[in-house]
C-alpha cells in the first residue's frame, strides 16, 4: 500500500484523524481540469508516486500552471522531464526549479537521501548516450534511489565494462543504455544476476535508423531476462527499476 494512504489509515487508527476527515482526504477530486491539462491529484494514493510533468510539446506557460496547481494541492516536490532550455527560460517561476540541461529535467524542492533499498546502476555504451542516462539517473534519484553511473563502457572496449565488475555484481537493478547495435544490454545481461532494463538510444549512423536497430537487437537479446523500454526512454527505465526495488522493500 502506498505511503499516503497508509499514513491516513494509521492516523485514523491512532485517533489523530477522524473517519470523516479521512474520507474527505480520500474523496478529494481525483484531478483538476485546467482546460489544456487534467492534473492527476490522486496518483500518489493510487500508485505511491506523484504525477511527473512531461515537458516536451508544452509551452512554458502551461508547464508553469501545472506546477502551480500541483503546489496548490500540496505537492512540494515536482519533477519535469524533457524540458528544453528555451522552455525553462520562459518559466517565470524558474527560481523555484533546479534545472539540468544534460538530462533536460527540472525539479522543485531538494533531492531526497537514498532510501537504502538497493542500488540502480546506470550504464552507457558511449558518451553520446549520457543525456538519456542522466534522465534515468535523475528520475531514480528524485524517487529516493541510490544510483551508480558507469558511462562509456560499451563493447567497443569491453575491458572498460569489466573493470566495473564489482558494481555490476552488487547492483540491485541495472539500466543498460546504448545506441548503435545495442550490444551492451546483452553483455551486461550475461554478467549480472539482477534485473537488466535495456534502453536503446537514437545514437548511431544511418543504418541505426534513429535507434530502431538497437531496439531490435535488445529485443532479440540472447541474455535471458533482459527487459526493453522504448527508444531514448530513460524515464520509463528508471520508473520500472524503482518498482522492482519497491517489491524488494515489501519482502
Lowest mean pLDDT among 32-41, 83-92, 115-124, 210-219: 32-41
Note the pLDDT of residue 1.
42
Query: Taking the chain, what is the end-to-end CA distance rounded to the nearest angstrom?
Result: 13
The pTM for the full model equals 0.84
- Mean of pLDDT over the chain: 88
Nearest residue to 155 via CA among 185, 135, 128? 185
Name which residue leads in pLDDT, 250 or 229.
229
> What phi and psi values does residue 234 have, to the nearest 5 degrees?
-60, -35
**Confidence (pLDDT) at 106:** 95
Work out the average pLDDT over 104-121.
90
The answer to whether residue 116 scores a pLDDT higher than 90 is no
CA-CA distance, 98 to 94, in Å (whole number)?
8
pLDDT score of 221 = 93
Confidence band (pLDDT; 50, 70, 90) for 48?
low
The string of pLDDT tens digits covering residues 159-172 is: 999 999 999 999 99
The more confident residue out of 116 and 49 is 116
Cell of 30: 481525483
Q: Residue 107: is its pLDDT beyond 70?
A: yes
Domains and CATH numbers, the chain: 27-108 (no CATH), 119-250 (3.40.50.1970)
Amino acid at each position: 500500500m502506498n505511503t499516503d494512504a497508509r499514513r491516513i489509515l494509521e492516523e485514523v487508527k491512532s485517533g489523530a484523524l477522524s473517519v470523516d476527515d479521512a474520507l474527505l482526504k480520500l474523496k478529494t477530486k481525483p484531478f483538476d481540469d485546467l482546460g489544456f491539462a487534467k492534473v492527476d491529484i490522486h496518483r500518489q494514493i493510487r500508485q505511491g508516486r506523484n504525477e511527473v510533468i512531461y515537458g516536451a510539446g508544452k509551452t512554458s506557460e502551461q508547464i508553469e500552471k501545472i506546477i502551480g496547481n500541483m503546489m496548490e494541492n500540496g505537492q512540494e516536490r515536482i519533477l519535469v522531464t524533457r524540458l528544453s532550455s528555451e522552455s525553462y527560460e520562459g518559466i517565470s517561476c524558474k527560481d523555484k526549479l533546479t534545472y539540468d540541461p544534460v538530462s533536460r529535467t527540472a525539479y522543485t524542492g531538494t533531492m531526497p537521501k537514498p532510501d537504502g533499498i538497493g542500488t540502480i546502476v546506470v550504464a552507457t555504451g558511449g558518451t553520446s548516450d549520457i543525456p538519456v542516462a542522466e534522465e534515468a539517473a535523475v528520475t531514480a534519484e528524485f524517487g529516493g534511489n541510490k544510483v551508480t553511473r558507469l558511462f562509456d563502457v560499451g563493447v567497443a572496449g569491453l575491458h572498460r565494462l569489466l573493470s566495473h565488475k564489482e558494481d555490476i555484481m552488487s547492483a540491485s537493478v541495472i539500466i543498460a543504455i546504448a545506441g548503435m547495435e545495442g550490444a551492451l544490454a546483452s553483455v551486461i545481461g550475461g554478467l549480472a544476476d539482477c534485473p537488466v532494463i535495456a534502453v536503446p538510444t537514437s545514437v548511431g549512423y544511418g543504418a541505426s535508423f534513429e535507434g530502431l536497430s538497437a531496439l531490435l537487437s535488445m529485443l532479440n537479446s540472447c541474455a535471458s531476462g533482459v527487459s526493453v523500454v522504448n527508444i531514448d526512454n530513460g524515464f520509463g527505465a528508471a520508473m520500472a527499476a524503482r518498482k522492482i526495488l519497491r517489491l524488494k522493500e515489501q519482502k
